[in-house]
Amino acid sequence: MEFFLNLLTSPLLLLASVFGLSFFYIFGLTVYRLTLHPLARYPGPKLAAITDIYLTYYAYRGSRHLAFQRAHEKYGPYVRLGPNTLSCNTSTALKAIYGFRANVRKADFYTAFPANKKTVNVHSSIDKMQHARKRRVMSHAFSDQAIKSLEKYILANVRTACRLLGGKKGGENEPWNAADWCNWLVFDIMGDLVFGKAFGMLESPANRFAVDLVGNAAHRHLIILFRKIAAQRGQYMQYSKAQAMERTKMGLDVDRRDFFYHLLNAKDPETGKGFSMDELWGESNLLIIAGSDTTSTAMAATLFYLAHNPATLQKLCQEIRNTFSDVEDIISGPTLSGCAYLRACIDESMRMTPPVAGALPRQVLPGGIDIDGHHIPAGVDVGVPHYALHHNTDYFPRPFDYVPERWVSDPAANPLHNKLPDAHAAFCPFSIGPRGCIGKGLAYVELTITIARVVFMYDLKLAPGSTLGAGRKDLEFGRTRATEYQIEDRFASTKDGPLLQFRPKNS
């Protein structure tokens, strides 16, 4: 009897029992996810249906957007890419999921990146009422009038950036890594607009470390188990907190109504109280990340595609140089807005290489949601991957060709004019609906002014030997197209290259 009692309580038997129960649990869970789960009827990789490790692997590699696109090419417009994740690749799904009446909320995915330990910001807030309050406050800072009042700070940084491209008089400059130049410029602009002073990245390496910190902070959205990334995120958070505290000391200077001015002046309509220090820090931290990384990617992508398409570059140069007689005339306003081909080049760059290339996940609320005749039950995460949608041939014929003309309204100039309404319906580099990017207007001001001034002042070309830029890391699916700007999908994106040379025009 004592022998049997010892056997039943032995560590080996207990260990075997634990492993046995774990095996049956995993086996049962696998069978359920493959056969009985509400998403079991949707096609997709079997591993993705069983475990989130599938997408996590591609997130680690920085190629999640390529995994989405590859899956939709193979399986169709509706693909299961996680045990509880449905990816949709139609323009109607885009509106159904992200529109103003969508019966969804932000997925729990967003809890991976709070503003700080004590609060959330307008990006990471899941609660709709909380988000709406923050959005109303932020909207004052992003109005057309507010952005126009801040344009002088944008122009000052663009002037510095363009001057640096000049290099030796009468000759080509040493090659510039466009990704670095764009990062430093946009970070300097956002530093000026948020914290009241440029970071000085264009002219000094002292603060350039923050670019990498932001990239790794964004990467944590997708991979939350890697200590090194988490530690680097913490380093960035401390850096941004110090900047926020410095700006707070400046107070409400009515002569400088920057973004922080609006945050300091914000009042909760229910309590009449302003933002706490944690909220001020959280929102300013978001502004730097969201306002810098995405715009710089769009800017670098535009320079890449112009350099790889000389006929397009020549056409854009003619438009800008025939429209403006002096570089200082290039400011936001009707004249710049009237440069339709400039806008087409920028939009086509963001179509080809959307700065946020993956899907923005939404969790379906009780009552479910109907998309293209599919009823999706509550609790499921749904999303539309931007890169996959932007390369869907139903909306964008010749999806891997850089064709700015597809955005031109003149039928005589647009060989794809019959697809223009479809293209507009599927174009979503800033997302859409109540959670769409609040900084869209600011981004276009930065992009149009910068690209216009660069092509007005300089003739640019690829540096010798630079065909793919420096972004290509391997020969993974989707990485082999020489005329596509390669990025790493880290929720936002990181990039490298192209290497460009600039010669002052008429020199």
Q: What is the pLDDT of residues 406-426, one digit of tens each?
A: 999 999 999 999 999 999 999
Provide the pLDDT for residue 368: 97
Work out the percent of the chain whose per-residue pLDDT is above 90: 55
Q: What is the mean pLDDT of the chain?
A: 85
Residue 26 pLDDT exceeds 70: yes
CA distance 154 to 439: 14
Phi, psi of 459 (to 5 degrees): -95, 130
pLDDT at 11: 60
**pTM to 2 decimals?**
0.89
Q: Name the residue with higher pLDDT: 387 or 130.
A: 387
Q: What is the per-residue pLDDT across 260-287, written as a single tens digit (0 to 9) for each? A: 887 777 776 666 666 777 777 777 777 8
From CA 185, how far away is CA 203, in angstroms rounded? Answer: 10
| Structure confidence at residue 245 (pLDDT) | 75
Amino acid 482: pLDDT: 85
Amino acid at 135: R
Give the CB-side neighbour count of residue 278, counting CA atoms within 13 A.
Answer: 7
Report the C-alpha gap between 202 and 204 in whole angstroms. Answer: 6
CA distance 150 to 141: 10
Q: By the 8 A CB rule, do 280 and 243 touch?
A: no
458: β partners: 504
Which stretch, 52-56, 135-139, 165-169, 260-264, has highest mean pLDDT?
A: 52-56
pLDDT at 399 > cutoff 50 = yes
For residue 84, pLDDT beyond 60? yes
- Is it the case that residue 9 has pLDDT exceeding 70? no
pLDDT in tens, 287-323: 877 788 899 999 999 999 999 999 999 999 999 999 9
Say whether pLDDT at 365 is over 50: yes
Is pLDDT above 50 for 129? yes
pLDDT bucket at 343, cuts 50 / 70 / 90: very high
Q: Measuring CA to CA, which residue among 492, 463, 446 is closest to residue 216? A: 492
What proportion of the chain, given as a percentage, has pLDDT over 70? 80
Cis peptide, bond prior to residue 498, ω within 30 of zero: yes
Question: 328 Cβ partners below 8 Å, 6+ apart?
Answer: none
Nearest CA to 92 out of 406, 394, 451 is that of: 394
Which tokens belong to 219? 């990467």
Would the pLDDT of 346 be above 60? yes
Query: 28: which 2 tokens?
Result: 């049962």
